[in-house]
Every structure is written in C-alpha cells, then in structure tokens.
C-alpha cells in the first residue's frame, strides 16, 4: 500500500518524460520542512492529483477470494473476470526549455544519399585453394624463439614401491621434455601427474595413496622452475578372502586352482586381471567352452587394510566334442575334408586348444577370405555327464590364384629371376596346379607341379613334378628333364612344424659336359638317373625365416643309379645342423655345419650335376658359385664326392634394419670322406631389412688368403637369412 508524500513523488515521476537536456532537479522531492524547490520562470505546473480513496488493509484482504488448503488442487476459475479496458495514453506533455540548458536538436527526417560502392566489392571471392594466409611478421620478434620457460621434474616416494620408472614413462611433465610456454602449463601437467601417481599406486594395492605437486623457481629468480611430484603410498591393501560364486565343477576346486588368488596376496590390478584371464583361458581347455565371468567386487576395509574379493562365474555345461557343421556363402571344404584336419575324436572332452588347432589348419590352406570355428550347443547328452557341442565352421572362399616372383643376384651365379602362377584349389579339395619359370644369367627353365595338400591325412602332401632346365656354370653345362613324385610333411611360414620329412622317386635325363680324366679332355655325355630321395628334419627354432633361438637338424639320404652304358648304384648322403642363440634382445649368434658324402661310385663316373660343390651365397660366401674344390686342367671346377661347410654370424638388429658380420669356411674333396683339411675361409658383412614376409639380405664378402683366379669381392642379394 502506498502512503504519504512518497505517493505524491512517485505519481509526479510517473507523468514525467525524461528528455535530453532536461535536468532531473526539476522534479526532485522536496525535503521535509521545506516548500517546493524554486524553479526557473515558466508556466506553473498543475498540482498533482490526490488519492481521494485509500483502501485499508482490512478491506483489501476481505476482498480476496478464498483459496483451497490443498496445494495439489486444480486452479479455481476466476468468475466474473473481465479484461480491463486499457487507459488511453495521456497527451504528450510540453516541456518548457530551461534557460541556459543545451537545445535538443530536432529529429532528422531526411538522409543524404550513400556514396557509390567500390568496384572491388562486386568482384567474386577467390577460391579457397588459392587463398593463402601469410603469418604476420612483427619486426624485432623471432617466431622461432617464442617465449618459453624450462623446468625439471622430480619424483619423490614412488621409487620405494618400484613405480618411478613406469611413472616417468607415462608422465605429462616428462613428455613435455622440460619446456613449456608458461608456468600455468607446467602446473596443468603437474596436476595430471598427481592423478597418474594415484592411479599407479592404486594399481599396486595402495588405495590410500596421495600425491601433491609443487612448483618453485630453481634457482630463485632464474625463470626456470622445478616441478616436484611427492607421493605418499600409505599402507598396502591385501586380499582378505577370495570367493568364487559358481556352480560346482568337475573335478571339484577347478575354479580355485586356475584363478590362483590367495588371502594375503597384494591387491594388484595386473595380478588380478591376469588371474581372471587365466581362468577364462584354462576352463575352456578342460571342458567348459561357455564360461562367463561377471563383475568382480572387492570390499576394502580401511581399518584392517584388507579387501574381500568376490567373483561371480557362469560355468555353462561341461561339454564334449560332437560333429562339424559348416556355413558360408562360398564354402571351400565339405565336412569330410574338414574332418581330416581335426586332431580330436567325437566324444572327447572339449578342449579349446583343439579348436584353435583346427582353425590354424584351415588358415594355413590360404583358401579362405574369412574362416572361423566356434562351439554350438546341441542340448544333447554326451559321455560322462557332458553335453555334446558341435563346431560351426563359417567359411568364405578367397582368391585361389596367386602370382609370385623372386629375384636374386650373386657373384658367379649372376641374376636369377623366378616367377610362378598357382591355382591352389583347381582340383578340390586342395588340389593345386603350379607353373614356374626361371630366367637367369646361367639358368633357364620351366616346371609344372600338381600338389594335393592334406592328402588323405593331416599335413601330408602329395605332388607330381615335371621340369625342363638348362644350367651353364663354370663346373658344367647341362640340359635336364626330370619327372618326380613325392610325399612330404613340410613347414610353412604360417604352420611351422617340428618334424618334417619327404620321400619319393625321380627319374632324370641329363646331357652334360665334363672333364674326362680318362681321355684328359672335355666331352659331353648323356645320363639316365633314377633316385629315391628321402629327408628327415627336426626344427625347434622360433621362426622359419628369421630364427632367433633354438636349433635345426636334418639328414638326406638318396639311393641312386646312374646309367651311361652300365648301371652304377651309389648314395648321396648329407647331414646339416644350425643353432641360434640370443646374446641380448638385439644380438643373435647363429652357426651352421654341413657335411656330405657320395659313396659307391668313382667321381669320373658320376654325372657332374649330381656331384657336390661349395661356394656361393648359400654355401661359403666370399667365393663364387661352385668355385671351391678340385679343378680340371682347364681351370674349371670338377666337384667332388664329399664336402664340409661351416658358418658363424653375429646378427645385430636395430628396428627394421640389421648388420651381420660373418665368417664362412668349407672345402670339397675328391674322396668320400669330408676330412676337414685345406679349409678355405671367407669373411664379410651383410645388411638386413626386416619385412613382414622375411628379411631382405645383402651380403658382401671376400676370400681370406685369396688365390689367383678367385673372386676379390662377392655380392649376394636374396630373401631370408643365409641359414
């Protein structure tokens, strides 16, 4: 309610328009005890209207309608409410000018015409690709030397629990390399490192750990600062109880055994996560393919510093192997061929390792674009209270044809280019047709091969091979045709095997030149050769193309008969061993020894292409191809019936590159015994570039105690290590 003189003052203000140049003092409120203020001469303003009716508080409250006491009740209608008629605006008041006050300018009613637009505004905008932003250059300021501060980082408290190295690897301060634009940036990095230190401490079980950061100038007034992260680990929390909520297993206690968490163990995140991962890995290997782990719960007690661990586990049915079923838009194999690849029998307890093995065997065929193997429940009872699960093989065919090429160069052998075309499934299942061509400085040839992989048995390969070949080396020149058949178990880069073998038969017709020691001159002859070659190998190395540890052993035996006028039986024998020892993570010492012998025939009766030779990139580096051993009177090598070779390498790798110093030794002998006498040595250094398909090799070597006619420098370029 408005009362007294204030009402008159407010009413006077309500009817006053404030205009520029009109002083507010014209309508100021008179002070108590004084009359109206003296105003400038002018018309006397009309007296302010007086409120004749003043409504008392009692009357105002009585006129209000009654309201419901329920705050949730709907609004009551306003009966008889009429929209008030708006009061017409009063006519504008005439304000008399005050003598001496600035005159209010009259409102402009007309505007001057705008100036004509510059023609540049009518031009089209340039294309974004042509728009160039040139940085603003301020004279006297070098953009390369933006204002920076330098800082050092100190860590306190984490070394006691073995976390300082890990902290520095992840630290935001360390990542900044001691440079920042200002102190605020250093402080922000320090705050990040506070949280990092706390997370790391909790990962080891220090759940009460705290960390604070301080930043100070070091030394004072130098502009350089020192950021210190001070960590207080607090007490170590340990497991109080370990509880697995699950159905019983067969055998009992299997979950506790494979989880392997015990009361008193520190609550380390990595250890607990590893234990749970081991549980999920090991249970499917022991009959539980559908195991599922729930969310763990660890209840910490900050008084005793122990935590109670609880893990819910859904076991699923204990299972045994059933049938194989297939699915796919473009299937490659039927169920019968997949059954050849499996290593388990139906009814056997489910083991995820057998499933992984089957998947690897399918991938090794290289016939799929996608392939997967997964267990599927059947709800059918199996032996020993198990449930039968089938294996669902989802398969889609990939591209069956492959074009491949290989190039190499070595001194004495020249350039050698080899290309091949393969259709891996031309005769299903896994019946491949391979065409191969060789074009080189000293070798040319074509060959065709039919190969059946997993032929009636897992990992067994059957193949028929035919070739025509021309070789022109210092030791001999030959035109050869061969037909061979063999069964084998081979390693591949995808599927490396410990035991390998092959056995078979071959027939070779060869026309060759030789030095005839009976007539003491060079002549040509034609031989028909029949052989039964066999090989047995053992491989414990960790990689097929780039081994770093382990060893390999293999032995060859090939009973043969050479027919030229008369049949002359003999045998080709060879034993080879290689070993790999890692000295450090980047240095591997590799060694090789190989010996061979051909008993049962005189050297002069043996076809030159079946004799033993030494020298070259895969033999004794530093010497030309087939350069070592006895020589004919015309200076050309004649080969021998026995040989030995030795090699030692130090393989140093840095990133995707490597350096390999090496020493090789070897010799070829006319007799059947590799006596080790008169060994020749070659030394050199090689470079390696490591790729996803094997190392690229470049070796440079020279013979030690070089003799006239021998190579000064030998160069070898190929794929894969020397051995």
User: How far apart are alpha carbons 401 and 366 in whole angstroms?
Assistant: 10
Task: Summarize the confidence of residues 40-64 as an average pLDDT.
Answer: 57
Say if residues 450 and 459 touch (Cβ distance below 8 Å): no
Residue in 380, 377, 389 with CA at minimum distance from that of residue 348: 389
- The torsion angles phi and psi of 568, rounded to 5 degrees, stand at -130, 100
Packed helices 183-203 and 269-282: angle between N→C axes, nearest 10 degrees:
50
What's the whole-number mean pLDDT along residues 535-551?
93
Task: Measure CA 198 to chain center.
Answer: 29
Lowest mean pLDDT among 146-150, 212-216, 404-408, 446-450: 146-150
- E strand residue ranges, 546-679: 550-564, 566-582, 587-597, 642-654, 657-669
Q: How far is CA 358 from CA 344, 351, 696, in A?
A: 9, 11, 32
pLDDT of residue 666: 96
Residue 428 pLDDT grade (very low, low, confident, very high; cuts 50, 70, 90): very high
Residue 45 has pLDDT above 70, yes or no: no
**Hey, is 633 helix, strand or coil?**
coil
Q: What is the pLDDT of residue 721?
A: 87
pLDDT of residue 39: 39
Contact present, 528 and 507 (Cβ < 8 Å): yes
Q: What mean pLDDT do residues 554-579 have?
A: 94
Confidence check: pLDDT of 5 > 70 = no
Tokens representing 148 are 């920076």
What tokens appear for 699 in the block? 């070796």
Beta partners for residue 652, in sequence order? 587, 659
**pLDDT for 190:** 95
- Predicted pLDDT of residue 599: 95
Give me the phi and psi of 213, to 5 degrees please.
-120, 145
Angle at 546 between CA 541 and CA 548, to 5 degrees: 50
pLDDT of 447: 97
For 535-552, what is the mean pLDDT?
Answer: 93
CA dihedral 191, 195, 201, 205 (to 10 degrees): 150
Please give the Cα distance from 211 to 161 (Å, whole number): 14
Does 484 score more than 90 pLDDT?
yes
Radius of gyration of the chain from its Cα atoms, rounded to whole angstroms:
48
Q: Is 175 helix (H, G, I), strand (E, B) or coil?
A: helix
Q: In this structure, what token pair is assigned to residue 22?
A: 């009109």
Which residues neighbour 31 within 8 Å (Cβ) at sequence distance 6 or greater? Answer: none
Structural contact between residues 155 and 167, judged by C-beta atoms closer than 8 angstroms: yes
Q: Identify which of 219, 241, 216 has the alpha carbon closest to the alpha carbon of residue 227.
A: 216
Q: Identify the band that residue 134 occupies on the pLDDT scale cut at 50, 70 and 90.
A: low
Q: How confident is the model at residue 99 (pLDDT cuts 50, 70, 90)?
A: low
* Per-residue pLDDT band at 127 (split at 50, 70, 90): low
Instruction: Give tens-digit pLDDT for 452-476.
Output: 999 999 999 999 999 999 999 888 8
pLDDT at 130: 60
Least confident of 63-77, 163-177, 196-210, 215-229: 63-77
> What 3-state DSSP class applies to 278?
helix
For residue 55, the model assigns a pLDDT of: 66
Tokens, residue 309: 């661990």
pLDDT recorded at residue 717: 85
- List, as one string, the DSSP characters of 415-469: EEEEEEEEETTSSSSSEEEEEEEEEESSEEEEEEEEEETT-SSTT-EEEEEEEEE
pLDDT of 716: 86
φ, ψ for residue 5, nearest 5 deg: -65, -30
Both tokens of 717, joined, read 């370029």
Tell me how far apart the alpha carbons of residues 662 and 236 are, in angstroms, rounded to a whole number: 53
Query: Is residue 56 classed as helix, strand or coil in its secondary structure?
Result: coil
Q: How much of the chain exceeds pLDDT 70, in percent?
A: 81
The yes-or-no verdict on residue 551 having pLDDT over 50 is yes
**What are φ and ψ of residue 341, in 5° steps?**
-80, -20
Residue appearing with tokens 């230190």: 197
Cα 12 to Cα 7, 32, 46, 545, 550: the distances in Å are 9, 17, 11, 104, 108
Q: Which residue has the higher pLDDT, 12 or 618?
A: 618
pLDDT category of residue 42 using cuts at 50, 70 and 90: very low
Compute CA distances 708 → 49, 157, 406, 631, 711, whole Å: 137, 71, 33, 13, 9
The whole-number pLDDT of residue 712 equals 87
The pairing of strands 238-245 and 306-314 is parallel
Q: How far is it between the farthest Cα atoms of the chain?
A: 158
> Binning pLDDT at 50, 70 and 90, where does residue 518 land?
confident
Distance CA 334, CA 425 (A): 13
Q: Which residue has the higher pLDDT, 172 or 126?
A: 172
pLDDT > 90 fraction of the chain, expressed in percent and rounded? 62
Helix, coil or strand: residue 203: helix
Three-class SS state of 395 = strand
On the question of pLDDT at 106 being above 70, the answer is no
Q: Which residues make Cβ contacts (< 8 Å) with residue 227, sequence separation at least 6?
A: 151, 152, 153, 154, 173, 186, 189, 190, 193, 213, 214, 215
Per-residue pLDDT for 129 more than 70?
A: no
pTM comes to 0.68
Could you give phi then psi for residue 280, rounded to 5 degrees?
Answer: -70, -25
Which two tokens mark 112? 């001057």
Query: What's the mean pLDDT in 393-416?
Result: 86
Question: In this structure, what token pair is assigned to residue 177?
Answer: 């390399």
**Both structure tokens of 263:** 């009361």
Only one residue has tokens 């050092």, namely: 152
pLDDT at 718 over 70: yes
The reported pLDDT for the residue numbered 122 is 72
Cβ–Cβ < 8 Å for 593, 387? no
Burial of 102 per CB tally in 10 Å (0-12, 13-18, 19+): exposed
Mean pLDDT of 609-634: 90
Q: Mean pLDDT, the chain, as a whole number?
A: 84
CA 350 vs CA 94, 377, 394: distances in Å = 105, 12, 19
d(CA 208, CA 191): 18
Residue 90 tokens read as 């009063």
DSSP 516-563: ETTTTEEEEEEEEEEE--EEEEEE--S-SSS--SEEEEEEEEEEEEEE
- Looking at residue 67, its pLDDT comes to 57
| Helices and strands, number each (H, E), in the chain | 9, 28
Instruction: Point out which residues pair with 299 in neighbouring strands.
Output: 308
> Which neighbouring-strand residues pair with 230?
156, 212
Q: Give residue-wise pLDDT tens across range 60-92.
A: 677 666 655 665 655 555 555 455 555 555 555
Q: Is 76 exposed, middle or buried (0-12, 13-18, 19+ CB in 10 A)?
A: exposed
Other beta carbons within 10 Å of 407: 13
């Amino acid at each position: 309610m408005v009362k007294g003189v204030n009402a008159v003052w407010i009413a006077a203000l309500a009817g006053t328009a404030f205009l520029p140049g009109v002083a507010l003092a014209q309508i100021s409120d008179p002070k108590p005890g004084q009359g109206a203020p003296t105003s400038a001469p002018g018309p006397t303003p009309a007296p302010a209207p007086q409120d004749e009716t003043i409504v008392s508080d009692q009357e105002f409250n009585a006129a209000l309608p009654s309201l419901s006491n329920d705050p949730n009740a709907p609004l009551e209608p306003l009966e008889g409410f009429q929209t008030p008629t708006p009061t017409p605006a009063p006519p504008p008041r005439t304000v008399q000018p005050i003598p001496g006050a600035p005159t209010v300018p009259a409102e402009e009613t007309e505007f001057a015409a705008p100036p004509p637009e510059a023609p540049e505004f009518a031009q089209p905008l340039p294309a974004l690709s042509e728009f160039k932003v040139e940085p603003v250059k301020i004279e006297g300021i070098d953009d390369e030397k933006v204002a920076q501060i330098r800082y050092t980082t100190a860590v306190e408290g984490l070394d006691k629990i073995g976390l300082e190295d890990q902290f520095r690897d992840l630290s935001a301060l360390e990542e900044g390399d001691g440079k920042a634009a200002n102190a605020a940036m250093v402080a922000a990095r320090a705050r990040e490192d506070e949280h990092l230190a706390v997370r790391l401490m909790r990962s080891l079980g220090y759940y009460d750990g705290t960390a604070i950061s301080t930043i100070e100038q070091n030394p004072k007034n130098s502009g350089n600062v020192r950021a210190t992260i001070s960590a207080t680990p607090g007490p170590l929390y340990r497991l109080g109880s370990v509880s697995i909520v699950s159905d019983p297993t067969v055998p009992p206690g299997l979950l506790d055994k494979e989880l392997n968490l015990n009361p008193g163990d520190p609550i380390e995140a990595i250890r607990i996560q590893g234990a749970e991962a081991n549980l999920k890995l090991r249970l499917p290997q022991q009959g539980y393919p559908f195991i599922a782990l729930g969310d763990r719960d660890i209840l910490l007690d900050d008084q005793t510093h122990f935590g109670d661990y609880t893990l819910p586990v859904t076991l699923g049915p204990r299972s045994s192997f059933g049938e194989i079923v297939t699915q796919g838009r473009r299937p490659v194999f039927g169920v019968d061929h997949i059954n050849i690849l499996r290593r388990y029998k139906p009814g056997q307890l489910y083991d995820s390792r057998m499933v992984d093995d089957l998947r690897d065997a399918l991938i090794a065929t290289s016939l799929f674009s996608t392939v997967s193997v997964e267990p599927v429940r059947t709800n059918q009872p199996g032996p020993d209270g198990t449930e039968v699960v089938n294996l669902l093989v989802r398969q889609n065919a990939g591209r069956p044809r492959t074009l491949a090429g290989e190039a190499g160069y070595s001194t004495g052998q020249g350039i050698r280019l080899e290309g091949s075309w393969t259709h891996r499934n031309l005769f299903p299942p896994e019946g491949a047709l391979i065409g191969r061509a060789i074009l080189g400085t000293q070798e040319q040839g074509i060959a065709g091969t039919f190969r059946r992989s997993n032929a009636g048995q897992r990992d067994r390969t059957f193949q028929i091979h035919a070739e025509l070949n021309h070789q022109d080396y210092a030791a001999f020149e030959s035109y050869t045709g061969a037909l061979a058949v063999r069964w084998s178990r081979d390693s591949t880069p995808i599927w490396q095997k410990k035991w390998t073998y092959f056995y078979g038969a071959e027939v070779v017709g060869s026309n060759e030149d030789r030095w005839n020691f009976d007539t003491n001159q060079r002549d040509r002859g034609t031989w028909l050769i029949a052989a039964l070659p066999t090989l047995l190998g053992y491989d414990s190395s960790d990689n097929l193309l780039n081994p770093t540890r382990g060893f390999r052993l293999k032995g060859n035996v090939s009973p043969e008969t050479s027919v030229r006028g008369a049949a002359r039986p003999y045998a080709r024998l060879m034993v080879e061993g290689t070993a790999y020892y890692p000295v450090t993570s980047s240095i591997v010492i590799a060694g090789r020894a190989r010996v061979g012998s051909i008993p049962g025939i005189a050297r002069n009766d043996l076809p030159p292409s079946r004799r033993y030779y030494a020298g070259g990139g895969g033999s004794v580096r530093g010497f030309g191809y087939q350069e070592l051993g006895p020589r004919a009177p015309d200076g050309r090598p004649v080969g021998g019936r026995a040989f030995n070779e030795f090699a030692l390498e130090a393989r140093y790798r840095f990133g995707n590159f490597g350096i390999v110093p090496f020493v090789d030794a070897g010799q070829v002998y006319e007799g059947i015994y590799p006596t080790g006498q008169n060994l020749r040595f070659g030394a050199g250094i090689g470079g390696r570039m490591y790729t996803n398909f094997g190392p690229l090799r470049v070796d440079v070597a020279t013979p030690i105690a070089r003799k006239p006619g021998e190579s000064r420098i030998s160069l070898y370029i190929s794929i894969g290590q020397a051995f």
